Amino acid sequence: MKTAKARTQKSKKTKKAASCDSFPGVKALFDQYVVPSYGRFEIAFARGSGSHLWDVNGNRYLDMGSGIAVCALGHAHPEIAETLRDQAMRLVHVSNLYYHEWQGRLAQKLVGHLSPGKVFFCNSGAEANEGLFKLARRFGHDEGRFEILTTFNSFHGRTLAGISATGQEKVKKGFEPMVAGFRHVPFNDLQAMRDAISPATVAIMIEGVQGEGGVTPAKPEYLLGLRQLCDERGLLLLMDGVQCGYFRTGRFQSYQRLLENVTGADTFVPDGVSMAKSIAGGFPMGAFWVRDRHADLLGPGQHASTFGGTPLACAVALKVLDVVERDRLADNARQLGGQIMDELKNLAQRYPNVLREVRGLGLMIGIELVDKQSIPAFAGETKSAAALFVARLQQAGVLTVPAGTQVVRLLPPLNLKPADAEEALSAIKRVVKSLA
């Protein structure tokens, strides 16, 4: 609620033409000065706390998207804020011409969560994948192999190599020619992957759970089959864990969760894993891990990033790991995510004329809607069913993220509270009922 004082301040400021404490004021700045490369919802945020955000008009929202799986500990987490301040007072950046303890300690921790290997630090998911593409090219270079196979509906970032790797036409359109050496095959189809391998193929990259493509988990036998295929044909198996990784599914990486209790899976290790989004809880950072046998493929001068792995970013990422471990947030993702999923599956059974399917793992949940023509309130609208559903939820005070035209994603903070989950579920139920 706004205080009387806040209201008086506001009325004073409204004399200025583009007051930034109103949505039109903020939007006017974007319209004039920001490259319009995003389709944005009509909300401007002012602050956040935990799983909640407040817009410039003082409206409160439950954030079930956490900035697209980024704010793993929610907003304005006191320990993240404290670490940012303390590290900023000590050391922010020195460049990768030198050593510092935070990068080494973070790499050690990440290796501990994966398997023996080494880590390279960068600043985003696209860059993390780019590093893996370069690793693969180095790996195959002397044999003239360079081709990387990925899957349809994948998403690997927005750089030129990223859109070339991404198995979705919409991100490529208008930017041709693509970077050479990427081909796509259907996801979860081992035979298609086997058939696609050519003498030039050097690696396969997949997401353990496709995110942008609509929250589709890989089948355990697909993962095991890909590992075997890569071993037989001398290919690297690269996993894009930018969205589905970092404890979101209930384990550090999605393949660890997907392969739990699967026979023959205990020796499964990918050759490379990319990370970003949640890694520093909202502070920009990316990284890739590479398995020990390939860990020295990229030597001095062969790959670099000015900002990669600064003392500040690494200190924050170390704090995120501390909090995730201390507060058992992987277990929270697994349990609370499982409960939300069960409830949503029940809802889908009760309202098959609105919801087609609910999929996912842990706190990465996709709600697939039926075609918009089948939902009377949506038929005739120009926006996609997913965008329209997300907008309805926003009106009900809950933020979610569309994936394609049919799927709405829940990617809440990993420290989501049961009461927050209840709040989200009751809003979703209300919206679904209103559409039925």
Ligand X SMILES: *Cc1c(COP(=O)(O)O)cnc(C)c1O
* Position among 53, 64, 110, 126 found at the interface with ligand X (CB under 6 A): 126
| Contact letters for ligand X, residues 268-307 (x by CB under 6 A) | --------xx------------------------------
- Which one of the spans 77-85, 238-246, 249-257, 310-318 is the region binding ligand X (CB under 6 A)? 238-246
- Which one of the spans 41-49, 121-129, 251-259, 311-319 is the region binding ligand X (CB under 6 A)? 121-129
For ligand X, the closer of residues 56 and 161 by Cβ is 161
131 in contact with ligand X (CB under 6 A): no
Min CB(333)–ligand X separation in Å:
17
Alpha helices, DSSP H only, in 291-376?
Answer: 311-326, 329-350
List CB contacts of 81: < 8 A, sequence separation 6 or more. none
For ligand X, the closer of residues 103 and 243 by Cβ is 243
- Give backbone dihedrals phi and psi of 286, rounded to 5 degrees, phi first: -140, 165
**Tokens at 142, concatenated:** 């002397």
Q: How many CB atoms lie within 10 A of CB 216?
A: 21
For ligand X, the closer of residues 145 and 257 by Cβ is 257
216 in contact with ligand X (CB under 6 A): no
For ligand X, the closer of residues 158 and 356 by Cβ is 158
In order of 127, 150, 185, 272, the CA distances from 288 in angstroms are 9, 17, 24, 7
148 in contact with ligand X (CB under 6 A): no
**125 in Cβ contact with 159 (< 8 Å):** no
- Which one of the spans 22-30, 204-212, 311-319, 382-390 is the region binding ligand X (CB under 6 A)? 204-212
211 in contact with ligand X (CB under 6 A): yes
Min CB(233)–ligand X separation in Å:
24
- Which one of the spans 154-162, 249-257, 295-303, 404-412 is the region binding ligand X (CB under 6 A)? 154-162
**Tokens at 254, concatenated:** 């999605």
240 in contact with ligand X (CB under 6 A): yes
CA gap 366, 401 in Å, rounded = 9
Binding residues with ligand X: total (CB under 6 A):
15
Amino acid, single-letter form, for residue 42: E
Alpha helices, DSSP H only, in 98-173?
Answer: 101-113, 125-140, 160-165, 169-172
Q: Which long-range contacts (C-beta less than 8 Å, at least 24 apart) are formed by 21-25?
A: 21/46, 21/56, 22/56, 22/57, 23/55, 23/56, 23/57
- Which one of the spans 120-128, 144-152, 298-306, 370-378 is the region binding ligand X (CB under 6 A)? 120-128
413 in contact with ligand X (CB under 6 A): no
What are the E-state strand segments in 208-291? 209-210, 216-217, 236-240, 272-275, 286-291
Cα angle 427-385-373, degrees, rounded to a multiple of 5: 120
**Tokens at 324, concatenated:** 């995730």
Q: Closest Cα to residue 250, out of 209, 289, 216? A: 209
For ligand X, the closer of residues 159 and 405 by Cβ is 159
207 in contact with ligand X (CB under 6 A): yes
Min CB(129)–ligand X separation in Å:
6
Residue with nearest beta carbon to ligand X: 125
184 in contact with ligand X (CB under 6 A): no
* Position among 66, 87, 216, 243 found at the interface with ligand X (CB under 6 A): 243
**Tokens at 168, concatenated:** 């979705």
| Contact letters for ligand X, residues 376-395 (x by CB under 6 A) | --------------------
Q: Closest Cα to residue 312, out of 39, 60, 88? A: 88
CA gap 75, 307 in Å, rounded = 24
361 in contact with ligand X (CB under 6 A): no
- Give backbone dihedrals phi and psi of 185, rounded to 5 degrees, phi first: -135, 165
For ligand X, the closer of residues 74 and 131 by Cβ is 131
For ligand X, the closer of residues 50 and 154 by Cβ is 154
124 in contact with ligand X (CB under 6 A): yes
* Position among 48, 65, 157, 311 found at the interface with ligand X (CB under 6 A): 157
Question: Contact positions toward ligand X, by CB under 6 A?
Answer: 124-126, 129, 155-157, 207, 211-212, 240, 242-243, 276-277
